[in-house]
């Protein structure tokens, strides 16, 4: 967790969806430091609420439950839904219906800022020898990436029509350390993930902005030129892991689509047979 100034609290109540997921569990204690009350939601149990926490079990496809989740919150960090390639019915429920329910609940409850966990898989079918930015056309690498593109478009609609602001985070690979050679380009440390989310929550004016979520890695495929107003400055880098990762993991066959495309193995995963 980042070292904190005397009182980093800036919100009365924040909602974290997907709180029991991989990233949600990591963010739970971190986000607590920025609000008086952290409301946690997930479709399954999350254990006991700690000090300053509220727990609400809800599936995102349940519009009534999601409406209740967003009641009296200042802002939302939306990590919920499906986070990998899955069968269509799960993606439909979690990422399409779920995203719609979330934005409708924001509109009805007067919530004005959402930080949306999008994904680099929105543009996974660009090649690893290309550098792209947030204005390049989407090229999803599967149904999961496509559902995240839907979420970004939904965010744009709710900004244009209802003035609900969103920062869509096209998260690379947020893990303790890069797990493979690809992640030397896509990795984002947990501390940088926290920095990015806090910047997205607190930047004064964001409309609907899109930013790639990565640390300050030497190898990169993504250019955040159009997101400078968010004020995110990564401080970590995958470079410290490079020698170990390259020694441990052999080079893959250069004709493997997972090596050619930015989405890695996601480009050949999924129910497409």
Which positions lie near ligand 15L, rule CB under 6 A?
Answer: 83-84, 119-121, 173, 186
CA dist 272 and 106 (Å) reads 34
The smaller minimum CB distance to ligand 15L, of residues 41 and 173, is found at 173
The smaller minimum CB distance to ligand 15L, of residues 23 and 56, is found at 23
Q: How far is the CB of 182 from ligand 15L (least distance, A)?
A: 7
The smaller minimum CB distance to ligand 15L, of residues 141 and 165, is found at 141
CA dist 65 and 83 (Å) reads 21
Q: How far is the CB of 215 from ligand 15L (least distance, A)?
A: 13
CA dist 8 and 194 (Å) reads 13
Helix 190-202 to helix 22-32 angle (10° resolution) is 60
Q: Which two tokens stand for residue 207?
A: 């409309």
Radius of gyration of the chain (CA): 18
Q: Catalytic residue at 126?
A: no
The smaller minimum CB distance to ligand 15L, of residues 53 and 236, is found at 236
The catalytically annotated residue of 34, 103, 126, 144 is: 144
Q: How far is the CB of 91 from ligand 15L (least distance, A)?
A: 12
180 — phi, psi (to 5°)? -155, 180
Q: How far is the CB of 89 from ligand 15L (least distance, A)?
A: 19
**Rounded to whole angstroms, what are the CA distances from 87 to 122, 140, 170?**
17, 16, 21
Show which residues are catalytic. 144
């Amino acid at each position: 967790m980042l070292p904190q100034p005397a009182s980093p609290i800036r919100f009365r109540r924040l909602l974290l969806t997907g709180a029991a997921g991989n990233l949600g569990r990591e963010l739970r204690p971190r986000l607590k430091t920025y609000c008086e009350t952290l409301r946690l939601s997930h479709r399954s149990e999350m254990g006991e609420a700690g000090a300053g926490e509220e727990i609400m079990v809800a599936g995102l496809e349940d519009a009534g439950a999601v409406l209740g989740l967003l009641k009296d919150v200042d802002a939302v960090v939306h990590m919920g839904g499906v986070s990998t390639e899955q069968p269509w019915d799960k993606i439909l429920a979690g990422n399409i219906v779920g995203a719609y329910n979330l934005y409708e609940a924001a509109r009805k409850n007067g919530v004005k800022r959402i930080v949306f966990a999008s994904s680099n898989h929105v543009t996974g079918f660009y090649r690893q020898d290309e550098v792209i930015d947030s204005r390049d056309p989407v090229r999803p690498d599967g149904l999961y990436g496509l559902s995240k593109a839907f979420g970004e478009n939904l965010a744009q609609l709710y900004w244009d029509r209802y003035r609900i602001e969103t920062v869509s985070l096209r998260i690379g690979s947020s893990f303790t350390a890069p797990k493979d050679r690809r992640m030397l380009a896509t990795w984002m440390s947990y501390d940088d993930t926290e920095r990015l989310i806090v910047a997205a929550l607190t930047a004064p004016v964001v409309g609907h902005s899109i930013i790639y979520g990565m640390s300050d890695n030497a190898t990169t495929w993504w250019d955040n030129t159009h997101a400078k107003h968010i004020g995110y400055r990564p401080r970590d880098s995958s470079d410290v892991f490079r020698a170990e990762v390259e020694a441990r993991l052999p080079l893959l066959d250069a004709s493997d689509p997972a090596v050619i495309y930015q989405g890695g193995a996601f480009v050949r995963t999924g129910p497409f047979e």
